Structure 1
Amino acid sequence: MLTDRVRILVLCGLTCTLVACTGGEPAPPGRQATAPTATDPAPGAAGAGDPYYPADGNGGYDALGYEVTVRYEPGTNRLHGDTVLNARATKDLSRFNLDLRGFEVESVRVNDRPAEFRREGEFELVISPQRALAEAETFRVRVRYGGTPQSAGEGQLGANGWQRTGSGGALVLGQPHSAAYWYPVNETPRDKATFRLEATVPQGWTAVSIGREAGSETADGWTTTTWAESTPVASYLTTLAIGRFTLDRRTLADGTPVLDAYAAGAEPQRELGRRTGEIIEFLAGRFGPYPQRAAGGIYLDEPIGFSLETQGRPVYAEWADLETVVHELAHQWYGNSVSVRSWSDICLNECLASYAQWLWLEAKEGANLDARFRRIVEQTRNDGEFWSPKLHEMGAGNEFDGVYDKGPLAIHALRRQIGEESFARVLREWAAEHRDGNASWPEFERFVAGISGQDLDEFFANWFRGTGIPRPEHLLPGTLSG
């Protein structure tokens, strides 16, 4: 994510068979498949375990894939949804939760059988299947729902969730929350899953999302477009943008499809969109092969407070510039492919994506990064507000303080501390080792120490958990002291 405020700182089928739902061998001909038995069922947790957001996400199952079908009428701001979740139980389950903000839930089915459900708290949808689910059993949940999507209040970096656009369309975007504003979901980055969307809007409007465009047809005054993301995605990195878009299509050199969507008024951003391939090629030279199956961007003519790295196809605010595009595309490695385990680990996303902007300036414009670093240090040496935010263990609600300005300084200092060879290895090998998974900041510290062969405990404590300017020996390591 890159903000305006800190711009530089900036599958089970409908019939449950033994093979589909348990992963075993098919039942012999003429024999009925038997569902596994839960011997000690208990409710799944109503939270995924992130200490900063304890109610986010849910426990007891692993989401495997979402199949989301929505029909939206911009004139009335009404949405009807039909979402299928394919999941695997991680314990014997008597009931489990999904996250859904607003809407009237019309029905819930588990393995094609009606299930009991109720709403609890702000966004919990509690589901009790007819039969308890056994540990390791794969199962299918179908939720039908509808109503007026909830508008979110101001989040840390701007309005999160469902938003109406100036053109009369709609947009759902946000971090750490957004998915539950339009489909039932296990809303935690810890539970990544594949994603498929079939979105229907009135003819003349276009629904754009992440992943590959898998087809579009118009009939009876409505246009339905299908998007498919087969790479596991954290739910906040999904999106739906409905507008009167102009679409540009092409491919990268390796055949990866690129789709750029320009809202009315955002056509001047086409020059930025055309540089996507160049930027991805540059970043791949530093971070390794591009980890997504699609590329492009959604360019808005909206004064939202941030751009966001939605998977493969970031969403850009009206103020987005070239460095913003570099930043959001860097997230396709750091944040999207390698996702945080908890929100306290956000420096893995934002500090590294912000430093990608520095790498771009160094390579493309000949910027002297040591001189840039020393200049910023001198300008802020007595600025307690600049140095006080922690980059790890910062506390709930403070995750994005400091990561866009102090963050890239810290990463440059780390580069000079461990040297060019080790730093280049870190950028590539970390992304490769944790591809399509999750990781934590402490794991990153141990990884860097292992590659560099250095004891970096004090360095990391000063830069990433300190609340003041680092001690002199850590502030200016290597060539920075010259």
Structure 2
Amino acid sequence: MPGTPTTRRRTAAVLATATALGVALTALPASAAGLGDPYFPDDGDSGYDVGHYDVRIAYDPARTDHLDGDTTVTARAVRALDRFSLDLKGFTVASVTVNGTPARSFSRSGEHKLVVVPAQRVARGATFAVRVTYAGTPDAEGWHTLTNGGANVSGEPHSATSWYPSNDHPSDKATFALTATVPDGWTAIGNGLPGPTTTANGTTTFRWREDRPMATYLGTVAVDRFTVHRAQLPDGKPVITAYSPDVPIDAATEAAQPDVLAFLASKFGPYPFSSAGAIVVGESKSPGRGAAALETQSRPTYIGALYDEGVVHESAHQWFGNSVSFTDWRDGCIAECFAQYANQLWEEHNGADLDTGFYPHVVAENKDNPSFWSTKLYDPGKGKELAPALYFKGSLMLHALRRTVGDDAFFATLRRWTADHAYGNASFPQFEALAARVSGKDLKGFFDAWAHGTTLPAEEYLYPGPLGNR
């Protein structure tokens, strides 16, 4: 395939994902309704591979029901395209151009599809740029208005469609640039590294750039009268932490962020991104806000406060879920199981004995509770893609795996995983195969019981190795 090695890898990954999902590319209709994810079949478009998003927005907290957007999506066609779709909820779309030429037509389809017919067919393998200008009320699924008029974006599995047009599936990752214009006195925080800040006509424009490929739901912007603290990791990477005015500033937890990242790097491999930090926002006017934190890439978002457990969990996601992302939404365990187990590793680092504390206590509490074991960790089912089992049963599974294969093989597997799939996508079955290969053990029975089973694992898998000496 033409293009750079990185582009070829991404294009190959899209093709492989479509094949794995049972999507016959040659048989897809020209409108390409979706990538065919088993849980969200309408998400994304298999006809192209995005390389970069350039998202430009303007937001005035005095007008919380309005956002102006101007987004350019640069992509490579996987096949010849007479039409293609982007995912975007709501908004009035004013114009669409493809390679600078007005589209022949653009129209809405379903809940979140913007279908574009270019003036000329896009040839297979060609790079093309789609520019969409739009305005209106951002969708509350991902865009959350804060009580003081500020706003922030967070949400999983969907949030990108609330504020910019995208190929909204985690298998199509891309670099990301944000330009956000807000009134003077307000600050816009995004992913990655900050760029130049400029002022004009009573407004300030902030620029951010994430230089590593990012899944769409991990992109963010937050607008508030932030207090911004800056520090550095030992290698000089910036640590940028922003606090809304109505949240406490926890200096100790903020200062611990580099230590947490250094500890996780000792277990998982080098920290994968060019910056770190946190966005800590206040209460939202949006109903059903959801999780207290989200692993927005390089700069996790926290609701209400920065707290130790959250920092460990969301930081671990930078390796598990962000650098190595889902192949599709059946793969939630490759993010949540590992991020939750990171909390146990941090407790162990601070003196806890997981073999006599965490593991036997959680097993004992739930041994006679069938519902605790009833959700599969791989392919848990639509609507359960982020089920509690992925966190709690998943963390137990990883400790049992560690005791099955031994520390050397277990942590070698984690480091190999994050290195082999860095900045790409992988599936939980691939992790199963890697763990067996690195350990030299037959782990089929183990993973059948833990990841694919819906009942209490048999004793040999529940109490392996040292865990059996009860």
User: What's the TM-score once normalised by structure 2's chain length?
Assistant: 0.91
Alignment match of 1:240 (pick from 198, 218, 221): 221
The residue that corresponds to 2:114 in the other structure is 125
Deviation at 1:49, TM superposition (A): 2.2
2:186 corresponding residue in structure 1: 205
Of 388, 391, 404, 2:374 maps to 388
- Counterpart residue number, 1:61: 48
Hey, what's the Cα distance between the residues in 2 that align with 1:176 and 1:305? 11
**Contact 1:362–1:369 (CA<8 Å) still a contact in 2?**
no
CA distance in 2, matches of 1:432, 1:451: 14
Distance in 1, matches of 2:379 and 2:194, equals 39
Match among 317, 324, 348 for residue 362 of structure 1: 348
2:131 to 135, 142, 148: 142
Of 294, 298, 302, the residue aligned with 1:316 is 302
- 1:477 and 2:464 equivalent? yes
1:254 aligns with 2:235: yes
| Secondary structure at 2:249 match in 1 | helix
Q: What amino acid maps onto 1:355 in structure 2?
A: Y
The SS at the match of 1:228 is strand
Contact 2:248–2:305, Cα closer than 8 Å, also in 1? no
Deviation at 1:404, TM superposition (A): 1.4
Residues in 2 aligned to 1:420 and 1:327: alpha-carbon distance in whole angstroms: 21
Q: In the alignment, which residue of structure 2 is the partner of 1:352?
A: 338
In the alignment, is the contact (CA less than 8 A) between 2:48 and 2:76 conserved in 1?
yes
Question: Does residue 107 of structure 1 match 2:95?
Answer: yes
Deviation, 1:68, is 0.6
- Which letter does structure 1 place at the counterpart of 2:97? R
Identity of aligned residues (%): 46
Correspondence list, 1:22-171, <5 A: 43-77=30-64, 78-115=66-103, 116-152=105-141, 161-171=142-152
Which residue does the alignment assign to 1:305?
Answer: 290
Identify the residue that residue 267 of structure 1 maps to in structure 2.
248
User: Residue 364 of structure 2: SS of its match in structure 1?
Assistant: helix
The 1-side partners of 2:280 and 2:265 are apart by 23
Distance in 2 separating the partners of 1:290 and 1:258:
12
For 1:328, the equivalent position in structure 2 comes to 314
Equivalent in the alignment of 2:207: 226
C-alpha deviation, 1:372, in angstroms: 1.8
Is 2:51–2:75's contact at 8 Å kept on the other side of the alignment?
A: yes
Q: 1:370, CA displacement in angstroms?
A: 4.2
Structure 1 counterpart of 2:21: none
Provide the aligned C-alpha RMSD in A: 1.8
Number of the residue aligned with 1:465: 452
Corresponding residue to 2:429 among 442, 456, 460: 442
- Kept in 2, the 8 Å contact 1:381–1:469? The answer is yes
Tell me, yes or no, if the aligned pair for 1:384 and 1:468 is still in contact at 8 Å. Answer: yes
Matched, 1:173 2:158: no
Aligned to 1:281: 262
Residue 444 of structure 1 deviates from its aligned partner by: 0.7
Please tell me whether the aligned partners of residues 55 and 177 of structure 2 are also in contact (alpha carbons under 8 angstroms).
yes
Unaligned runs of 5+ residues in structure 2 are 8-26
Distance 2:361 2:258 in 1: 32
Q: 1:324 to 1:369 in 2, by over 3 A?
A: farther
Per-residue deviation, 1:42: 6.5
Q: Which amino acid aligns with 1:389?
A: T
Amino acid paired to 2:363: V
Distance in 2, Cα, partners of 1:457 & 1:368 = 24
Alignment partner, residue 415 of structure 2: 428
**Letter in structure 1 aligned against 2:307:** D
Alignment-mate amino acid for residue 435 of structure 1:
A
Distance 1:268 1:314 in 2: 16
Which stretch shifts more, 372-381 or 329-338? 372-381
Match of 1:339 in 2: 325
Structure 1, unaligned stretches of length 5 or more? 1-17, 24-39, 153-160
Q: Give, in angstroms, the shift of residue 319 of structure 1.
A: 5.0
Distance of 2:341 and 2:226 partners within structure 1: 32
User: How many residue pairs are counted as aligned between the two chains?
Assistant: 439
Is the Cα–Cα contact under 8 Å of residues 358 and 369 in structure 1 kept in the other structure?
no
The CA deviation at 1:41 is 11
Q: Which AA in structure 1 matches 2:172?
A: D
> Match for residue 6 of structure 1?
none
Q: Is the 8 A contact 2:31 2:115 kept in 1?
A: no
The match for 1:10 is none
1:256-289, Cα deviation, whole Å (9 max, x unpaired): 1111001112232333222111111111100111
Aligned equivalent of 2:13:
none
Q: Structure 1 residue runs of 4+, over 6 Å off?
A: none
Output the CA distance in 2 between the equivalents of 1:352 and 1:305.
Answer: 21
What do residues 19-61 of structure 1 show as CA deviations (whole Å, max 9, x unaligned)?
99xx9xxxxxxxxxxxxxxxx9962522112111001111100
Cα shift at 1:364: 1.8
Measured after TM superposition, the shift of residue 454 of structure 1 is 1.1
Give the corresponding residue for 1:156. none
Q: Which moved more, 1:472-481 or 1:266-275?
A: 266-275
Supply the distance in 1 between the matched residues of 2:397 and 2:210 (Cα, whole angstroms).
Answer: 34
Alignment partners' CA distance in 2, 1:41 and 1:316: 40
Deviation sequence 1:80-107 (CA, Å, 0-9, x none)? 1000011000001101000000000000
| Distance verdict in 2 for CA 1:19–1:346, change over 3 Å | closer
Q: Give the Cα separation in 2 of the matches to 1:266 and 1:41.
A: 49
Tell me whether 320-329 or 105-114 shows the greater mean CA deviation: 320-329
Question: Separation in 2 of the partners of 1:422 and 1:333?
Answer: 18
Structure 2: which amino acid aligns with 1:341?
A: T
Equivalent residue number for residue 20 of structure 2: none
**Partner Cα separation in structure 1 for residue 157 and residue 182 of structure 2:** 27
How far apart are residue 249 of structure 1 and its match?
Answer: 1.1
**1:410 to partner: Cα distance:** 0.6
